[in-house]
Chains A and B, each alone.
Chain A
Amino acid sequence: MIYFDKVSKVYSPTSVALEDIDFEIKPKEFISIVGQSGAGKSTLLRLLMAEEKPSEGKVYFDSQDIHLISKNDLYKMRRRVGTVFQDFRLLPNKTAYENIAFAMEAAGKTEEEIAYDVPQVLDLVNLSDKQWHFPNELSGGEIQRIGIARAIVNKPDIVIADEPTGNLDPLNTWEIIQILKKINELGTTVILTTHNKGVIDSLGKRVITLEKGRIVRDDRHGRYII
């Protein structure tokens, strides 16, 4: 489904973010990418979202080289990917409901679909009672759950969660991971990056470990070992 073909990202000769990255992600997989700060996790995700171009190598999404897609057509690819950010990135002047609806409107869904789907995902992340609240009226955990709801509402093929629990306490972290597991069980590929050893160990899924921009370990049922 996704294939990194000998990808390198070099910002300057002294700053090599990724080197010779080569791996494949299969449909319906739950894959965690771990590594210390600066190991290249975020760069890897930015390459996958086509926010940046690789210095060498190619990134394929269903046999399409995503860096050959024109800027004006990128949104079509991005609609197939739901993204959850560490810093949430909700639209501050839209309510929880509107933030989720925005992703559907952007994807050209009808009013009926929006009216039907948004309450469902709000229910899934257990926030039906806060749908008319603005982000600044919600807690960190609640905001992140809205972020997840927004990421999955268009039924994407892949959900990318970039350190989604980085700013959350253990209880909220556990809730977020349960939601991600549920999404994966429903058939969506999930790519998770995290620092959290407890999360990785409890998942028992595939783990790719990055160190200084290189893949040093790729375990089927991995644990957090650095």
Chain B
Amino acid sequence: MILTKIKRVTKSGLLNFWRDRWISLATILIVIITLFSIGGLIFARAILISTLDEIQDKVDISVYFKMDAGEEDILALKDYVNTLNEVKNVEYITRDKALEMFEDRHQNNDLIVQSLEEIGENPLGAILNVKAKETSQYEGIAKFLDDGVESGKFADIIDKINYHQNKLVIDRLSKILDSARKIGFGISIILVIVSIIITFNTIRMAIYTNKEEIGVMRLVGASNRFISGPFVIEGVACGLLSSLITMGILYPLTNWLGPLTQGFFGSVNISDYYSANFLQIFLILSVSGIILGSFSSLIAVRRYLKV
């Protein structure tokens, strides 16, 4: 019996979906707009996160050692810094490596190459590049190193710590990143809420046109579930179809936008991101579409079931 009812409700819902195809089409268009804003949110998040990661990766604290600093002392300090919770990793650049990198960087500058040759020995000290897990943690790490220099613990090996030169930039960057994250999130949420409200209203209007019929169904003895079932099925069909269409439109769109965004943000290619996360994006969009369609229908129908 329950199976028969489910079959009837599904059949009736799909039939109504087809017979009211203009209303269905209008609803689908609106749901597509909502799903687009949700899809946009997913891509924006991916771009933001990878851009942030990339920028954050460029921030570090460089500890320059004196030329006569012993390698053992440096390695001891490296191990010590590594034990700090805030530290993600510490890279040790030996004096030779530092010179090599310097020469590489300036190989086209004859003056510098000549000067180096004239000095005859390596004028550079070793370097420790310290990376923190979060940009906000650099302050603490720098303070730890400063304290070490002041207390004389590392004073005889450390030449200078460049954090203070970079501090302003790092501080500003942290703030910008933090605000970008918050503002982006806020705007996206507002956008999604607005689209959901618009979709809900569209579906409500579509069902409003059936107000009289809902009353007639009640009067010929149909139960509330039997009446609302087909509308919910219509909502599900609209949501599912909208998500399929949205996925279809996103494919050429991301293909076109992929190289552009990569060039502009220098981070993730959204076309690759779309292909790599196809199933996940499809699931998010179709579940959102189905929930949006079915719940809006259910809430809207309930208003007219009072006869």
Which residues of chain A have a CB within 8 Å of any CB of chain B?
A: 49, 51, 71-72, 74-76, 78-79, 81, 83, 89-93, 102-103, 105-108, 110-111, 150-151, 154
B105 CB–A CB distance under 8 Å: no
Given the complex of chains A and B, what is the CA–CA distance between A75 and B226 in angstroms?
Answer: 11
Instruction: Give chain A residues whose Cβ lies under 8 Å from the Cβ of B307.
Output: 51
Digit string of B119-151 for contact with A (CB within 8 Å is 1, else 0)? 000000000000000000000000000000000
Given the complex of chains A and B, what is the CA–CA distance between A78 and B218 in angstroms?
Answer: 8
A-B contact pairs, 18 of them (CB 8 A): A51-B307, A71-B306, A75-B218, A75-B221, A75-B223, A75-B224, A83-B220, A91-B213, A91-B216, A91-B217, A93-B16, A93-B19, A102-B217, A103-B222, A107-B221, A108-B1, A108-B5, A150-B220
Which residues of chain B have a CB within 8 Å of any CB of chain A?
A: 1, 4-5, 8, 16, 19-20, 212-213, 216-224, 226, 306-307
Within 8 Å by CB of B222, from A72, A92, A106, A111, lies: A106
Given the complex of chains A and B, what is the CA–CA distance between A51 and B218 in angstroms?
Answer: 10
Given the complex of chains A and B, what is the CA–CA distance between A76 and B16 in angstroms?
Answer: 25
Interface of B is mostly: helix
The answer to whether A75 and B222 have CB atoms under 8 Å apart is: yes
The chain B residue with its CB closest to the CB of A150 is B220
Instruction: Give chain B residues whose Cβ lies under 8 Å from the Cβ of A108.
Output: 1, 5
The chain A residue with its CB closest to the CB of B8 is A105
Instruction: Give chain B residues whose Cβ lies under 8 Å from the Cβ of A111.
Output: 4
Given the complex of chains A and B, what is the CA–CA distance between A10 and B62 in angstroms?
Answer: 88
Given the complex of chains A and B, what is the CA–CA distance between A81 and B219 in angstroms?
Answer: 9
How many residue pairs, one in A and one in B, have C-beta atoms under 8 Å apart? 54
Within 8 Å by CB of A106, from B1, B19, B213, B221, lies: B221
Most buried by A among B219, B224, B306, B307: B219
The answer to whether A78 and B220 have CB atoms under 8 Å apart is: yes
Within 8 Å by CB of A79, from B5, B8, B221, B224, lies: B221
Most buried by A among B5, B216, B220, B306: B220
Given the complex of chains A and B, what is the CA–CA distance between A71 and B87 in angstroms?
Answer: 66
The answer to whether A78 and B221 have CB atoms under 8 Å apart is: yes
Instruction: Give chain B residues whose Cβ lies under 8 Å from the Cβ of A103.
Output: 220-222
The answer to whether B216 and A106 have CB atoms under 8 Å apart is: no
Given the complex of chains A and B, what is the CA–CA distance between A157 and B92 in angstroms?
Answer: 94
Q: A89-B212, A108-B1 are in contact. Are A83 and B219 (CB under 8 A)?
A: yes
The answer to whether B219 and A102 have CB atoms under 8 Å apart is: no
The answer to whether B224 and A72 have CB atoms under 8 Å apart is: yes
Q: A71-B306, A91-B217 are in contact. Are A106 and B16 (CB under 8 A)?
A: no
Given the complex of chains A and B, what is the CA–CA distance between A89 and B5 in angstroms?
Answer: 24
The answer to whether A93 and B20 have CB atoms under 8 Å apart is: yes
The chain A residue with its CB closest to the CB of B16 is A93
Instruction: Give chain A residues whose Cβ lies under 8 Å from the Cβ of B220.
Output: 78, 83, 102-103, 106, 150-151
- Give chain B nearest CB distance to A114 CB in angstroms: 10
Instruction: Give chain A residues whose Cβ lies under 8 Å from the Cβ of B19.
Output: 93
Instruction: Give chain B residues whose Cβ lies under 8 Å from the Cβ of A106.
Output: 217, 220-223, 226
Given the complex of chains A and B, what is the CA–CA distance between A107 and B5 in angstroms?
Answer: 11
Given the complex of chains A and B, what is the CA–CA distance between A83 and B221 in angstroms?
Answer: 10
- Give chain B nearest CB distance to A91 CB in angstroms: 5
The answer to whether B219 and A49 have CB atoms under 8 Å apart is: yes
Given the complex of chains A and B, what is the CA–CA distance between A151 and B221 in angstroms?
Answer: 10
Given the complex of chains A and B, what is the CA–CA distance between A75 and B216 in angstroms?
Answer: 12
Instruction: Give chain B residues whose Cβ lies under 8 Å from the Cβ of A75.
Output: 218, 221-224
Given the complex of chains A and B, what is the CA–CA distance between A93 and B221 in angstroms?
Answer: 18
Instruction: Give chain A residues whose Cβ lies under 8 Å from the Cβ of B212.
Output: 89
Instruction: Give chain B residues whose Cβ lies under 8 Å from the Cβ of A105.
Output: 8, 226
Extra contacts, 13 of them, besides A105-B226, A151-B220 (Cβ < 8 A), are A51-B219, A76-B221, A78-B218, A78-B220, A78-B221, A91-B213, A91-B217, A102-B217, A102-B222, A105-B8, A106-B222, A107-B221, A154-B221
- Give chain B nearest CB distance to A146 CB in angstroms: 12
Instruction: Give chain A residues whose Cβ lies under 8 Å from the Cβ of B226.
Output: 105-106
Instruction: Give chain B residues whose Cβ lies under 8 Å from the Cβ of A93.
Output: 16, 19-20
Q: Which 8 A-B pairs have the closest CB atoms?
A: A106-B222, A79-B221, A78-B221, A89-B216, A93-B19, A103-B220, A75-B223, A75-B221
The chain A residue with its CB closest to the CB of B305 is A71
Given the complex of chains A and B, what is the CA–CA distance between A110 and B8 in angstroms?
Answer: 11
Q: A93-B20, A105-B8, A108-B1 are in contact. Are A78 and B219 (CB under 8 A)?
A: yes
Instruction: Give chain A residues whose Cβ lies under 8 Å from the Cβ of B224.
Output: 72, 75
